[in-house]
């Protein structure tokens, strides 16, 4: 595992509606005071913003979080029941290392507060003959000493008889990986940060003036006095292009993503842990999470949907995607062919041009940071990303070149999965 010193080396949500009397969050009275001076203001209480605020407070900073609709709300990319945490990233070692560090932090946090936010149920990658992503992943896992098993077809069929493997030739099983309880995890991080002294404000952040240069002294919120801080971190997820349209509207692309939950057959435990792990069919860009907490068998396509507005977008799934998912299920999980659809969600990715995160200073404001571009794979990294950002602000550690704004092109060419 990475030490803090090593991490320093290697290494949503924005424009909002505001209530004049900030409402209670997670059972606590509001504590933010407009007009109060802060060391850091974090705009966005998704997984990136929550963990960034948490780490900064732990380092002694006076922090406020400002969010549109509440931590891990239904519009946020961090909302929803569950997210995958896995180590396989092909040859992309930086993300494997970050996942490794993040898993340690997720587990430590969960144990400290006495909640099961991480479900250690394993992750199974399905691979076909000639697919290089799996081979590169296996090599990276081996190089970093991360436990995994490379399973031939016969072993896959023996362990997971509920899966019809079809053209799948082999697989990778990560026994230490699994799923995170997404909404509950983010809300708990925010709750713990508040217990430790972080303030929270439900408020509408106005766009910083495009003509201003140098330092940003304050940000305006609708109906309330300005919030002043030494440093501002905009971790707004899909709202980042709205807050900074001139800079980011062609560099971060929110897309509509559909998620489905199906009810397993009566009394059938084959589609819940421990019988079934998290699984990913990379060749068809589709993945699933077994029946956690009796919510149903979760399945979602990983291909990028159409452009989406997180404030106004309609959040009902389409008949076309549902039909495609049912067709896949009938082929890969035959016992679920006629399973009832028990729940759906429409969320969003906020994709950068290549899938790398955006973590950089604003080119016009020396004390403003842009943090986003989770690109559909960012949730798991929240604790490590927050640690990384805190190190940049407190210790002025060097920036990872892959995350800087200059690498975010205006043409989409996904390279991170």
For the domain that residue 269 is a member of, what is the CATH number?
A: 3.30.9.10
- How far is Cα 348 from Cα 373, in angstroms, rounded to an integer? 11
Residue 224 lies in a domain: yes
Assess whether 343 and 265 both reside in one domain. Answer: yes
Assess whether 298 and 396 both reside in one domain. Answer: no
Assess whether 268 and 173 both reside in one domain. Answer: yes
Assess whether 358 and 382 both reside in one domain. Answer: yes
Assess whether 237 and 276 both reside in one domain. Answer: no
- How far is Cα 104 from Cα 102, in angstroms, rounded to an integer? 5
- How far is Cα 350 from Cα 373, in angstroms, rounded to an integer? 5
Assess whether 167 and 273 both reside in one domain. Answer: yes
| pTM, two decimal places | 0.91
b vs e for 262-284, b when ≥16 Cβ sit within 10 Å of the residue's Cβ? bbbeeeeebbbbebbbbbbbbeb
Residue 325 lies in a domain: yes
pLDDT at 30: 45
- How far is Cα 264 from Cα 342, in angstroms, rounded to an integer? 10
Assess whether 223 and 285 both reside in one domain. Answer: no
Residue 91 lies in a domain: no
Query: How many structural domains comprise the chain?
Result: 2
Range of the domain at 307: 120-177+255-347
Residue 84 lies in a domain: no
Assess whether 191 and 173 both reside in one domain. Answer: no
> 10-residue block means of pLDDT along the chain (417 residues)?
40 32 38 75 97 98 95 95 98 98 98 97 97 97 98 98 98 98 98 98 85 88 80 97 95 97 97 98 97 97 96 97 98 98 97 97 97 98 98 94 95 91
């Amino acid at each position: 595992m990475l030490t803090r010193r090593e991490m320093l080396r290697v290494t949503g949500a924005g424009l909002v509606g505001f209530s004049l009397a900030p409402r209670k969050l997670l059972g606590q009275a509001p504590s933010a005071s407009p007009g109060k001076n802060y060391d850091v203001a974090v705009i966005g209480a998704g997984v990136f913003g929550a963990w960034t605020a948490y780490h900064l407070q732990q380092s002694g900073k006076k922090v406020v979080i400002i969010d549109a609709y509440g931590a891990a709300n239904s519009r946020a990319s961090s909302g929803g029941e569950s997210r995958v945490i896995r180590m396989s990233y092909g040859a992309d070692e930086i993300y494997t290392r970050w996942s490794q560090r993040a898993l340690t932090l997720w587990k430590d946090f969960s144990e400290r507060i006495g909640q099961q936010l991480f479900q250690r149920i394993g992750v199974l990658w399905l691979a076909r003959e000639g697919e290089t992503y799996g081979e590169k992943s296996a090599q990276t896992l081996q190089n970093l000493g991360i436990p995994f098993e490379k399973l031939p077809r016969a072993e896959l069929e023996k362990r997971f008889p509920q899966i019809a493997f079809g053209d799948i030739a082999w697989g990778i099983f990560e026994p230490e990986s699994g799923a995170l309880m997404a909404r509950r995890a983010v809300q708990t991080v925010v709750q713990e940060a508040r217990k430790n002294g972080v303030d929270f404000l439900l408020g509408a952040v106005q766009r910083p003036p495009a003509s201003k240069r140098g330092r940003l002294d304050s940000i305006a919120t609708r109906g309330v006095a300005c919030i002043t801080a030494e440093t501002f971190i905009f971790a707004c997820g899909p709202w980042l292009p709205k807050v900074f349209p001139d800079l980011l509207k062609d560099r971060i692309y929110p897309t509509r993503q559909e998620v489905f939950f199906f009810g397993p057959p009566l009394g059938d435990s084959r589609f819940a842990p421990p019988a079934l792990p998290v699984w990913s069919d990379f060749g068809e860009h589709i993945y699933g999470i077994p029946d956690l907490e009796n919510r149903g068998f979760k399945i979602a396509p990983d291909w990028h949907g159409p452009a989406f507005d997180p404030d106004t977008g309609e959040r009902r799934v389409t008949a076309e995607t549902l039909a495609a998912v049912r067709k896949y299920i009938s082929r890969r999980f035959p016992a679920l062919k006629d399973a009832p659809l028990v729940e759906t969600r429409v969320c969003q990715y906020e994709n950068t041009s290549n899938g790398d995160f955006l973590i950089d200073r604003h080119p016009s404001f020396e004390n403003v940071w842009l943090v986003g571009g989770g690109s559909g794979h960012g949730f798991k990294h929240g604790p490590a990303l927050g640690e990384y950002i805190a190190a940049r602000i407190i210790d002025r550690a060097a920036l990872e070149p892959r995350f800087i704004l200059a690498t975010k092109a205006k043409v989409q060419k996904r390279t991170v999965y």
